[in-house]
Amino acid sequence: ENSPVALYGPNADDMKVVLVLVDSKATALMLNTNSFVSTMPMRGANLDESIDSIFSSLMRTGRLIERKDFEMIGFPGQKLVLDMNANGINAGMVFYIFQRGQEIWQFGFITPYNELFARMEEFDTAARTFRLRYVTPTPTITPTVPTPTNTPLP
């Protein structure tokens, strides 16, 4: 229910959602802010064509407010900002998209529209500090505590 996949329509049939975080703070706006990470195969010859294909339904259903270049973790990418009304709820969405090999990665936020621009700096900061790290499996289950990143979540 909190997964962003439902927003994409038929363009998300091969999307892999890696992570979804939902703000547990109650809101009167009927939408809790959430953050997500997902990946899917390239859909075009380059990043622009892939974004056009992947986000075509979303850009027709919602309103594209901004689309600009945005570098993430050393990969060239794009930032998309959209607003959408779904079932009477106005949502603001920010997607930070980059290509890694033959995959498109996206890190994003969905929040009540009236909070979108007030939180944009937080979202941009989180995107700039986003990292992909390989995990080395251990032969047995070992309880671990991750090293703090000192990066507050929005």
- CA dihedral of residues 135, 136, 142, 148 (deg, nearest 10): -40
> Alpha-carbon torsion 102, 129, 96, 76, what sign?
negative
**Cβ-based neighbours of 77, under 8 Å, separated by 6 or more:** 47, 69, 70, 71, 96, 97, 98, 99
pLDDT tens per residue across all 154 residues of the chain:
445 555 554 456 788 888 888 888 877 778 889 999 999 999 889 999 999 988 888 888 889 999 999 988 888 899 999 999 877 889 999 999 999 889 999 999 999 999 999 999 999 999 998 887 776 766 776 656 666 666 666 6
**Two tokens, residue 19:** 């992570």
Which residue type does 20 have? V
